[in-house]
Chains A and B, each alone.
Chain A
Amino acid sequence: MKNFYDFKVDNIKGLSAQEKEFRNKELDLFIKNGFPNKREEAWKFTDLNTILSKNFVNITNDYISLKEKKLELIKEFDHNYLFVLDGKLVSNDFKFEDKNKVLIKEYDYKKQISVSNQNSLNLLNNALATGGYCLEISKDYKFNKPLVVYNHFSESIKEQIISYKNSLILNENSELTILNYTNTNSKNNFFVNSFDYLKLKKDSNLKNIFTNKDRCNCYFHNYFKSDLEQNANFDNYILSTGLKFNKIDIEINLNEEHAKSSIFSALSLDSKEHQEIKSSINHNFKNCQSYQKIKNVLNDQSKGVYQGKIFVKQEAQKTDAYQLSKALLLNDNAEFDAKPELEIYADDVKCSHGSTSGSIDLNLIHYLRSRGIPEKEAYQILINGFLSEILEKLPEDNLKKFLIKKIGRQINGY
């Protein structure tokens, strides 16, 4: 069979000979494996190779961003922003912050961060990534307002792969809330394969939120690798729906004592959307905590996947790890797959996981209807109730209102 992709390192301009060699090597490794399929444990429920081959004719990496799009800012709440167009950093604005405390520049590909070779998409990212940003927050600096990263994708992208890397460093005792806001309403198909590296130093605190503006016909794979130092706190909120295919792969390494991490997700999917959250939480040191709560509402022919892994090293005593995934299936063509995994080598730990999936309780619908609420509304009330547990946890009032409104729009239909 003819390949449905054609990637060339030569399409990337301005590489040194050494870089070229490295990238070509990574690309060769990728080509040897191809896009992942169900035979890979990390892709057990998703055959990406088949999905892409069905929806693409020939994916290439020769896209050059043509013109800058005008940025429409979110008006609901004050914020700083980064404007990223097709993976390239275009502009930034930190008007609410002390500019000396924030260091922003384009990602430096000369300093490669080693990535595990297990994941063939990371190999591909190593080979093809261009653009991206590098953000560093100074010691003891706490952001006044959240930072919104506007991830724009041009409407002219079609049958392309967009690869980039970002890095974010929070120095000691710094604090930041970041909203990853994907904005594209492109009807064209394209594939985004990104890699983010996050470093949270001692006592730092990061809240990382994912959402998107509109529906679109694109395929996303975002890999987040994070290292946490002592007492660092890392919270993730995944609220992105409306994307044709989205896999968020989060790797959290709790490397020092009292590091804490959490992943919350509230998703309401319909049509043929495919959303996948894969987490691997590595408890590498004693007295760390992790918490995961994933809630999916699935309609139409959508598919939700959750693959969560908690790994506890032998020396990571007194670990407290929790994992819960819940799904509501509203249609027989919808599917929810879960693999909540525990791998534990320390004995003095408290680890548990739970997973449920099922339908809406018809007695509850009956109760609401008997009080004069129309059926459609009754469903919406219950779905809202189901997801609100997660939404309540969102930080910052104005931001929270904005996100809840957005989720409401998803539940009630675009």
Chain B
Amino acid sequence: MKTEDLKNTQEYKYGFSTDVENIRAPKGLNEDTIKFISKIKKEPKWMLEWRLKAFNRLKILKEPDWQKPKYPKINYQDLYYYSAPKSVSEKPKSLDEIDPKILETYKKLGIPLDEQKKLNGIAVDAVFDSVSVATTFKDELTKKGIIFCSISEAIQKHPDLVKKYLGSVIPLSDHYFATLNSAVFTDGSFVYIPPNTKCPMELSTYFRINASETGQFERTLIIADKGSYVSYLEGCTAPMRDENQLHAANVELVALDDAEIKYSTVQNWYPGDENGVGGIYNFVTKRGACRGKNSKISWTQVETGSAITWKYPSCILQGDNSVGEFYSIAITNNHQKADTGTKMIHLGKNTKSKIISKGISAGKADNMYRGLVEIKNKASNSRNYTQCDSLLMGNKCGAHTIPYIKNNNSTSTIEHEATTTKINEEQLYYCNQRGLDQEEAVSLIVNGFCKDVLQQLPMEFAVEAQKLVAISLEGSVG
């Protein structure tokens, strides 16, 4: 892997990114690295033991190879597993100064961050490489008993909660990348919503990969106690480099009785250039457990970035009457590859799930929906509805749909439908006729195609996502 930045990196130079001096763990994946991470995080002994257990498990696991996007072998010994700005404590607490790249992206999107802040007062946790640099609105949340902090802080201050729930949805031995994350995760967000509390504002995390040759392994844990509600947003960016960087995160959600978690992601990691050089490998494990009765977990994702996206936000519907939802837009352009979808596992009675997936493929990209819907024997009166539509732009790209459907209960119903088409030429013609140029017309039609999903996003994200859709497809028509 080379670290030489592309010429475009110039514009990020003033950024926070290049100016920061880093503390890094020595390269390589071994027990010493894990001990180093644990030590620098001042973690208790049980946490280190947990990490080492994962590491031992990792030694016997094999990297999965069944997925469609193939990638060159990653040399895990050639990565930095910990990288943090040297003076974290001195970092300003306000959002504006956190990352000019984010600011700039937003500027391009037409939403300055100030305005966004005014819109609703969003509490933000910003994760820069391996550490959380700032968390806003902490005081206000603490008043309500809501815990919103970095996971490192939670391990120290709320060990009981962490011990109880960490690894309860994604077990230590799940699969290669999840286990890798369990061994070396560096930071991430922790959210706990106490019983019968509606979180007064959207919680949000910004992930940023900055340093080169670094893998980002963050871990997010969200617990919604009985009767609570939280809406959580996640955004990500990375600088442009001609190396591939690994991002292997784990996200665990736990919803107890009558609780609801809404998790929205706008994933905009650097996708590589038009020749497919560089970009992030986004291998993420996201899983939610609807553990309590009448609980609900809703995933919404807009996937526009990353060289390879490989993630399946899932719901395990354990509690009776629990609901799982998955709304996704995946856009791939140039040489991007996305293999994404969801798993809905129905265990409880009267459980419901809904999957709406929209895939858009342009350039030489490959876009795949892969999902599992499984209704187990005891999940009577359960229901699933799945719709996955793909749009192809140009004849060098691919769109694929691989749903796995398993029904083992006679009172349950599964419905699945999928279509693959190109943009309707009549619609294009109609738009052109009314004075829209080709690109505007495509953007309009694509936004219409994605409407079902965009509607699910919190307002602050919806506008942004809509513009992101247009930007991602820039230059793909004509």
Contacts and interface: CB of A to CB of B under 8 A. Distances in A.
A36 to B, nearest CB: 15
A350 B392 CA distance: 11
A352 B403 contact: no
Contacts of B404: 44, 337-339
A353 B415 contact: no
A338 B417 CA distance: 12
Interface in B383-419: 390, 392-419
Given A345-B398, A348-B395, A329 B422 contact: no
Contact of A344 (B399, B406, B409, B416): B399
A45 B419 contact: no
| Residue in A41, A344, A347, A359 with the greatest tally of chain B CB atoms within 10 Å | A347
Given A317-B395, A339-B402, A358 B417 contact: no
A337 B412 contact: no
A352 B417 contact: yes
A134 interface: no
Looking at chain A, what size class is its interface with the partner chain? 35 or more
B420 interface: yes
Main secondary structure of the interface of B (DSSP, over half): strand
A342 interface: yes
Contact of A356 (B377, B406, B415): B415
Nearest to B419: A352
A190 interface: no
Interface in A216-242: none
Contacts of A44: 404
Nearest to A303: B408
A331 B411 CA distance: 8
A45 B372 CA distance: 12
B422 A349 contact: yes
Contacts of B422: 347-349
B417 A347 contact: no
Contacts of A314: 395-396
A330 B420 contact: no
B200 to A, nearest CB: 41
Given A344-B390, A344-B399, A335 B421 contact: no
A357 interface: yes
A341 B400 contact: yes
A336 B412 CA distance: 11
Interface residues of B, number: 35
Contact of B413 (A340, A347, A348, A358): A358
Contact of B394 (A333, A336, A339, A347): A347
A399 interface: no
A357 B407 contact: yes
A175 B47 CA distance: 72
Interface in B56-84: 66
A346 interface: yes
A76 interface: no
A336 B392 CA distance: 31
Contacts of B415: 354-356, 358
Contacts of A337: 404-407
B364 to A, nearest CB: 11
Contact of B416 (A331, A347, A356): A356
A344 B395 contact: no
A36 B405 CA distance: 20
B407 A339 contact: no
Contact of B418 (A317, A333, A352): A352
Nearest to B408: A335
A349 B421 contact: yes
B397 A339 contact: no
A121 interface: no
Nearest to B406: A337
Contacts of A358: 407, 412-415
B395 A329 contact: no
Nearest to B374: A337
Given A346-B395, A348-B422, A354 B417 contact: yes
Nearest to A329: B410
A332 B402 CA distance: 26
Given A341-B400, A347-B392, A355 B405 contact: yes
A334 interface: yes
B407 A340 contact: no
A267 interface: no
Contact of A341 (B393, B398, B401, B414): B401
Contacts of B66: 41
Contact of A335 (B406, B416, B417): B406
Nearest to B393: A347
A407 interface: no
Contacts of A335: 406-408
Contacts of A327: 407
Nearest to A39: B66
A340 B404 CA distance: 8
A272 to B, nearest CB: 15
Contacts of A383: none
Contacts of A342: 390, 399-402, 418, 420
B405 A339 contact: yes
Contacts of A357: 405, 407, 413-414
Contact of B395 (A41, A343, A347, A356): A347
Nearest to A351: B420
A355 B373 CA distance: 12
Contacts of B380: 332
Contacts of A332: 377, 380, 408-411
A331 B410 contact: yes
A340 B403 contact: yes
Nearest to B425: A348
Contacts of A330: 410
A269 to B, nearest CB: 13
Contacts of A356: 413-416
Interface of B: 66, 377, 380, 390, 392-422
10 contacts: A329-B412, A335-B407, A342-B402, A344-B398, A347-B394, A348-B395, A348-B422, A352-B417, A355-B415, A358-B413
Q: List 5 A-B pairs, minimum CB-CB distance, nearest first.
A: A358-B413, A347-B392, A329-B410, A355-B416, A357-B407
Interface of A: 41, 44-45, 314, 317, 327, 329-359
Given A339-B404, A340-B401, A341-B400, 8 more contacts: A329-B407, A329-B409, A332-B380, A334-B408, A339-B405, A342-B390, A347-B395, A357-B407
